[in-house]
């Protein structure tokens, strides 16, 4: 594919309009908003930056890279590992549902090396194997951040202009993390965003709520 074709495909696959239902998941952020830990642009930016550098954003990026580089046998092992690493019931449902929906939707571009309910970063990483990995990871992490900003725009509530400013401010972190993840192996897996994991667990009993996770 040409560079332009690769960019077009990534923009389609990781667009908010792509039918994976990302808009329905908050990755535990709704709990943090309800508790007051995230209440404005600055606290939102810090929360997302922590996830990208040290939390679910980072671990997903490492799994994405591993799936991007894996053969069929390796993919099966990465699927099992990624599912085992999910820290809560809702996070597991979130990643498996989105991964399955992604693989169904991308059948329009031909067969995938995976099928069924598999973790979302593994599904995208394996499907994007023909695209340079750092480019694909940059798009993946941007989509991750943009979806969380969209959650905050609706739930804080946060104005759209402020939300865009948060995304702009996260650009250096996204680029740096994509570069690190592109050179990563599964030995680099690890997360220290414990507050996010706890928030995701507490979301299971949060009432009322707007989001599935």
The total number of structural domains that make up the chain = 1
Query: For position 90, which CATH number holds?
Result: 1.10.4190.10
**Residue 10 within a domain:** no
Residue 42, C-beta contacts closer than 8 angstroms, at least 6 positions apart: none
> Which residues are within 8 A (CB) of 48 and not within 5 positions of it... i.e. 6 or more apart?
57, 145, 148, 149, 166, 170
Could you list the residue range(s) of the whole structural domain that residue 175 is in?
23-203
> How many CA atoms lie less than 13 Å away from 117 in the CB half-sphere?
7
Distances in Å between the alpha carbon of 79 and those of 44, 147, 161, 176? 30, 23, 38, 25
Residue 13 lies in a domain: no
Residue 1: the pLDDT is: 75
Of 170, 162, 161, the closest CA to residue 142 belongs to 170
Q: CA-CA distance, 194 to 87, in Å (whole number)?
A: 10
pLDDT under 70: residue ranges of the chain: none
8 located within any domain: no
pLDDT at position 113: 83
Residues 6+ apart with CB under 8 A from 211: 24, 25, 26, 29, 30, 151, 155, 203
Q: Record the pTM.
A: 0.96
- Residue 103 covered by a domain: yes
Is 82 inside a domain boundary?
yes
170 in Cβ contact with 44 (< 8 Å): no
161 three-state secondary structure: helix
Q: For residue 82, what are the contacts with CB-CB under 8 A and spacing of at least 6?
A: 63, 95, 118, 119, 121, 122
Residue 84 lies in a domain: yes
Query: In this structure, is residue 79 part of a structural domain?
Result: yes
**The predicted structure's pLDDT at residue 111:** 85
Q: What are phi and psi of 199, to 5 degrees?
A: -60, -40
Query: For residue 102, what pLDDT is reported?
Result: 97
d(CA 90, CA 100): 15
pLDDT at res. 118:
96
Residue 115 tokens read as 């099928």
Which pLDDT does position 112 carry in this prediction?
83
* Residue 151 belongs to a domain: yes
């Amino acid at each position: 594919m040409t560079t332009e074709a690769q960019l077009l495909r990534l923009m389609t696959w990781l667009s908010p309009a792509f039918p994976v239902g990302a808009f329905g998941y908050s990755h535990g952020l709704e709990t943090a908003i309800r508790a007051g830990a995230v209440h404005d642009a600055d606290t939102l930016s810090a929360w997302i930056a922590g996830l990208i550098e040290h939390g679910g954003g980072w671990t997903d990026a490492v799994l994405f890279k591993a799936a991007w580089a894996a053969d069929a046998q390796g993919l099966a092992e990465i699927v099992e590992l990624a599912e085992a690493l999910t820290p809560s019931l809702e996070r597991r449902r979130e990643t498996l549902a989105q991964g399955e929906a992604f693989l169904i939707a991308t059948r329009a571009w031909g067969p995938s090396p995976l099928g069924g309910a598999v973790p979302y970063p593994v599904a995208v990483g394996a499907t994007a194997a023909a695209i340079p990995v750092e480019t694909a990871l940059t798009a993946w992490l941007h989509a991750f951040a943009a979806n969380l900003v969209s959650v905050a725009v609706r739930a804080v509530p946060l104005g759209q202009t402020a939300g865009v400013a948060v995304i702009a401010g996260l650009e250096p972190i996204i680029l740096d993390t994509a570069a690190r993840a592109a050179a990563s192996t599964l030995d680099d897996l690890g997360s220290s965003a414990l507050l996010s994991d706890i928030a995701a667990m507490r979301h299971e009993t949060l009432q009322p709520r707007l989001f599935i996770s």
